[in-house]
Amino acid sequence: MPRFYYDEAFTRKPDFRVPFYKAAYYPTWLLVVDRLRRYGCKRIIDVGCGPGQFAQLCDDWAFDSYVGLDFSTVALQLARAKAPRFVFRAGDIRDRTTYEGLEFDAIVCMEVLEHIEDDAAVMSCFPAGVRCLMTVPNFPYRSHVRHFETEQAVTARYRDYFTEYDVRRLKGVRADTEQFYLIDGVRNGLGST
């Protein structure tokens, strides 16, 4: 989908304006920030950061630094207002230069890869040795180019990019059938250019 689709969605949908603790993704985000803390990660890059609700949570949990990357100018405006202490940058997450000059311990990429035809190009920009926490859904949506029915399907697509790989199914809160898969691993460099 083109950027204007996402700009319009971030403008129109009230879900993107609520504080982090009222967002439907809050239970998943809590698990992600808990894992980041347990791994000792203090500097986060959020690939496809959206309107800044996860950034608010990272601020609440006192992470040292956070950089949110997105291509939606509307999302970045909302994010800057929600978490002014942190940095937000526009960029193409499939382009390695978007990540240049950034210092980080971990990459978070939640509910993004299913929107991008060439998700491997995104993953090829993640440097080897970096902890990555990502989520993908089990349900179709008009802006999704893929979704995953099982943990095995997620593993088949992403396993080769990681060491210390783990995938877990998480229950969504909006429907009984809604699920997300949390991918947790250390990038191994496969496919890097």
Distance separating alpha carbons of residues 35 and 118, to the nearest angstrom: 27
Contact between 103 and 43 under an 8 Å Cβ cutoff? The reply is yes
Distance separating alpha carbons of residues 27 and 57, to the nearest angstrom: 11
The answer to whether residue 61 scores a pLDDT higher than 80 is yes
pLDDT band of residue 3 (cuts 50, 70, 90) is confident
Task: Taking residues 122-147, report their average pLDDT.
Answer: 95
The DSSP letter of residue 139 is: S
Q: CA 124 → CA 119, 185, 189, distances in Å?
A: 9, 14, 7
Four-way CATH pick for 3-187: 3.40.50.150, 2.40.40.20, 2.40.10.120, 3.40.50.720: 3.40.50.150
Distance separating alpha carbons of residues 153 and 169, to the nearest angstrom: 12
Residue 126: name the closest of 148, 147, 146, 109 by CA: 109
Domain positions in the chain:
3-187
The answer to whether residue 192 scores a pLDDT higher than 90 is no
pLDDT in tens, 63-105: 999 999 999 999 999 999 999 999 999 999 999 999 999 999 9
pTM of the model: 0.94
